[in-house]
Structures are given as C-alpha cells and as structure tokens.
Structure 1
Amino acid sequence: GSPQPASAAISPPIMLEGNQKKAWIQENDHFLLYKGSDDPYHMDPIHHWLAGRIAELLDLHVCRYEVRTYQDEIVSVCPCFTKEHTDAVSVSSILSSISSRPYQLSIDSFIRALQDHQIKDAEKKISDMLLLDYLMMKPDRSLKDMAVEIDARNGQWLDMIPSYSYSHTLGSLIQEHQMEHYEHQAVCRLFNASSISFESMLPYIHFTDYDLSSLKKIPLEYGNKLVEYQQSTGMSNHRIELQYQLIYKRVRSVLKAARASRRIIQ
C-alpha cells in the first residue's frame, strides 16, 4: 500500500488554487503536496503522474508526481516547489506589470521578462511546458498556472517553477459520447488568450531539442496505470479504451508536428 504521512501541517497557500482538495503533508523532514481530483472519473492524479513520466522521458522542466491512495482516495503527490527563503509568485502578478493588450497572447512578453531577469534556458522551459500541454490537451494554461521562484529576502528572480498543473487534461471532463471528436474540436486558454486552437502552441515548441521516440511507450504505460487504479476510479473498460486511444492519437500528433517542424527548418 501507499505510505501514510507522519503528520499533516498547516502551510502557506503556495500553488493551492483550484477546486481539487490539496494539502501540504510533512513526511520525515520534507513537505509533500497531496492533490485530489474533481473530475468525474478521478483521472487527475493519474494525469499528474503521466505528466511527470513524460517529463522524465524527455527531460522536461515539469514537476514529477506519483500516485497514492490516501484516506481511501486516489491522490497525486509531489515535493514542495520552493525552498527555505524562497517563494513562488504567479505569472498573473508578473505580467500585470508588463505592457500587453488584453486577450493578446503574451508568451513572448513573458519569455523576455524571464530573460531580462537572467533566468537560465527561459525559452526551453516554456517550450517544455507547451509541448506537454499540447500532448495532454491542457484546456486552461492560465496565468495562475505558472509561477516564478523568487528569493523572499530580496525579490530576486531565481527560476521558473517547474510546470505543475495538469488537471482536466486528456478530456477528463468530457463525457464518453463526446470523446470521438474531442481531439479535433477542443480549444484552450493559453496565457491571456482564450478559445484558441492547440496548434497555436506549436511555434513556441522547439521540437529539435527532444528525442521524441520514447513517447511511443507512453500509451501502453498510461493504459496500464488506468487499469491499475480502475477500482479506485470506477472507470469502465470502455472509458479506459477511449483514454488510451486519445493519448495514442496525441503522441502521433506530436510526432507529426515534429516532422513538419524539422522540414521547415531544413
């Protein structure tokens, strides 16, 4: 079974926005974030694990999660995002000080802000985030879903917090009869632009930075994880098959986009 925490602790509300039940739990000398699910199929914890698994394969600047059961619920678990004397500031707070027209896609403005503050590999970290968002069809990459780590003592920007929010991905809020056409009909919110296509992310993804061949193993691993926790989620075999088909199609879409990108570069 999953290990149980030594104690639950009251902690600062860092990254605790959203509807899922969350808590910082102290285990030994470390704090871990336990995050539940609010989708009807309880897929969020598995999708957080999936994001971390893909990040592991592709070396992405993305938070790693594991799946556990806690108080008879399936949860995702990850380490604390910040360290002693550091804090996390949402990108919504940062971009409010950057000149950007409402509803304008402000990715470039944010990248420039990161570079101006000497954040290492800023473009690569944004590319990592958007590659995973594209693959997993994250419907809402709002400005509150990203953060910068700062030194709480002097306000210095230290790094971009690894991408950490993958709730409601891969159609987890979509009913079964809608899944057949979901991949081609879905739109997303990206930064401060709403109702845009997932293809809008592609120009910001540096496909040549990644060895994407390892993605071919992801559909089977994902399907096996859904089966492993089927008793906890209550998902039907049919729904698991639909989810498997969707991630299989998304992997194919990423590989196709990567091939097209390389042809343009050549």
Structure 2
Amino acid sequence: MGRGDPTNAEWARLESHLPIAGRRGGRRRDHRTVINGILFRVRTGIPWRDLPEQFGSWKTVCERHRRWSADGTWDQILCAVQTDADSVGRLDWSMVSIDSTSCRAHQHAAGARKKKAPCPEKRSTPRHHRPDEGLGRSRGGLTCKIHLTGEGGCRPVAFLVTPGQWGDAPQMIEVLERIRVPRPQGGHPRTRPDHLGGDKAYSSRRNRRYLRRRQIKHTIPEPRDQRANRRRRGSMGGRPTGFDREMYKRRNEVERTINRLKNARAIATRYDKRAYVFHGTVSVAAVRPWLQD
C-alpha cells in the first residue's frame, strides 16, 4: 500500500459498492489497482501519461475513470458511502451549509470541441455533458466554480460544477435538489436537512421562499442593500429575516469541507477538458472523506 492509497478498512467500505468487473476480451486489472491509480492522479494532478508503472497501463486507468464519470458510477458510489454513513448516524443533518469555490482551469482544460446538446435517448452520451463545459472566462483566464453543501463532519453532500462567472444565489436551489440519500430500511430518500446555513450571497426572496416551502430552517444574513430596500417599502417589504448568530458560527464547516476537498491538486486546478470528467474527479475526491472518517 503506497502513500495516499486507501487502507484495508477503507477498501472494505468501498469494495461492496463497485461494479462487478466483467470480462471483455483479455484479463482486466483488479479494481483496487486501478482505483489507487485514479486516486493518485486526483491527489497529485499529474498527466495521465505520467502515472507510475505500479498502477499498470495509464490508458486503462484513464479510460475507467472517464467511463465511470460518463455513466454516473462515481455518483452512485458517493451516494452509497453516504447511505452507509447515514445508516450508522455519521451524517449530520442538523446543519448543512452551502458555499462555492473557484478553480483555475489549466490550459489543458481548454479547447474541447463545441457541439450541440446530445439527444437524451443516446446511452453512449455522457450524462453530464454541457455545451459550455463548465468553463468561464474572466480577467484571470479560464475558471470554473464548484457549488457544494457540506454537513457537520466537514464532508461534501452534494455539488454542482458551473462556469466561474456564474453567481452563487441562482445555483442554491439546484444544489439542494441534488441532496438525495437513500434509506436502507425503506421509504423515501432523505433530501431535506434540518437547517441550512449560507453567507450573504445566497440571500434572495426566491431562495427564502423555496426554503420556507420545503420547511427548511435557514440562517442567511441579509445584505445591507436588501435590508434598506425592505425598510423603504414599509409594510409591503415583509417581515425582517431571522438570524441566529450561534448557528451561523457553524458555517465554517463548509469552508473546512472545501479546504479538505481542494487538498487534491486535480480539484484546486482543473486539468480535465470535459465537464463530466471533472465532475467525476470531484466525486472521487468527495468519496475519500466518507471512507476515512
């Protein structure tokens, strides 16, 4: 076992959720060797061609990561390890916080061929394909943004990859809609946290109406301009928003979740051209904290 590879205990938690290795021609490398290679690349950010020989052919490792990113296997694995944690009470639903982080895109991440949105009935088409490939251009160059929610144990629950110039508030609802943790005992999956924390960027009437409709308590400070506009409208402006300072102190949990996620160099700097491949890379980095704790 090399540095950064999953321990035997972590592998025991992960192995049962992996697809069954089928036979397609010759012999296939076992999952553990290939996944160790994927984790090594995500952690170090090196080009696929530079993978050490101990992980076998770099093409095998790269292709399996690309295929599992395209068909949603990494998303299913992330959902499975979250379900295991929730079944033993290790998923903290009492407070889930939301935030975003920008990732600088390497020059190798640019240049993907632009084409029209694919037909939904094509199974060979990646699920997370998008025309803009999740890249935005700013003064600093190409960037992308990861919007995510983190629970009390500083582990990611759901995330969304967008171009870097997209705002935070319009993405809040879509990120919350991605929270879906099945219950092994049966019943509907858990999709609603008890409390949501966010900074001023998520303060909007649309977001607050959505949270009230879903009966999710929230602690989101109101910006000064919104507060002044509400007071100027008088009784038409509505009631003042509630704010719990003690609950807001827990918003640092999502900041620590982001720091933990961006310890992976392939997350801190995006090297993947396709958005669905980078989505899979983020999923791989998100699975690891659930195995470690």
TM-score after normalising by structure 1: 0.25
* Rg (Cα) greater in structure: 2
More strand per residue: 1 or 2?
1
**Bigger RCO (CA 8 Å, 6+ sep):** 2
